[in-house]
A and B are shown apart, each in its own frame.
Chain A
Amino acid sequence: AQRVTQPEKLLSVFKGAPVELKCNYSYSGSPELFWYVQYSRQRLQLLLRHISRESIKGFTADLNKGETSFHLKKPFAQEEDSAMYYCALSSSGGYQKVTFGTGTKLQVIP
């Protein structure tokens, strides 16, 4: 079974402060991991994916297989980063089932 855990329901930071949204996973195979974001009144959309090793809007995420984590980080939070963030895991074979975490609401205080 695959599982994604986001321990924080709400994370409040001041503008300009560093951000770290935690994500831990459980999966027996080789995981494919994603971060999705939902801004107020907008659709859920992909923020970044592990396989691309990209930085999007200043956010990065590193897969740590030893700690089974995929934390999302940004060095300096902006007000426009306020949103709901979901970590997701896709199974690498078969039907590519995707499991989402419970989400973390990021609130950036001006």
Chain B
Amino acid sequence: DVKVTQSSRYLVKRTGEKVFLECVQDMDHENMFWYRQDPGLGLRLIYFSYDVKMKEKGDIPEGYSVSREKKERFSLILESASTNQTSMYLCASSPLGLAGYNEQFFGPGTRLTVL
């Protein structure tokens, strides 16, 4: 059973704080993703990584950075949190293979509130 875990379910931070969201997967997947999920906007890709130390910008990378030092771990960093980054953050992983079979496995999500 694929497991994707996220370090926190709920997080409350203050404007300007540096925030770390951690994601760990245990299925040796090459690809990892960070999304934010907002009502009416669906899932929007922030960053993804297809290998250790490799990263690619998604559709809304501004205000975020990522780190992937180990294959199983993908961190999302908010350098200076702002109120418009209040959202549900979802991590996902998928194996590298035929695109039609690259099912994404999601974590439970972290609901971040920035005050």
Taking Cβ atoms with an 8 Å cutoff, the residues of A that contact B are 6, 9, 32, 34, 36, 43-46, 49-52, 86, 88, 90-93, 95-103
Contacts and interface: CB of A to CB of B under 8 A. Distances in A.
B103 to A, nearest CB: 5
Contacts, number: 67
A102 B41 CA distance: 5
Nearest to B97: A96
Interface of B: 31, 33, 35, 40-45, 48, 50, 56, 58-59, 90, 92, 94, 96, 98-104, 106-109
Contacts of A90: 99-100, 102
Nearest to B98: A51
Nearest to A103: B42
Contacts of A9: 40
B103 A46 contact: yes
Given A50-B100, A93-B99, A96-B99, 7 more contacts: A36-B104, A44-B43, A49-B103, A97-B45, A98-B104, A99-B45, A101-B42
A98 B101 CA distance: 12
Nearest to B33: A98
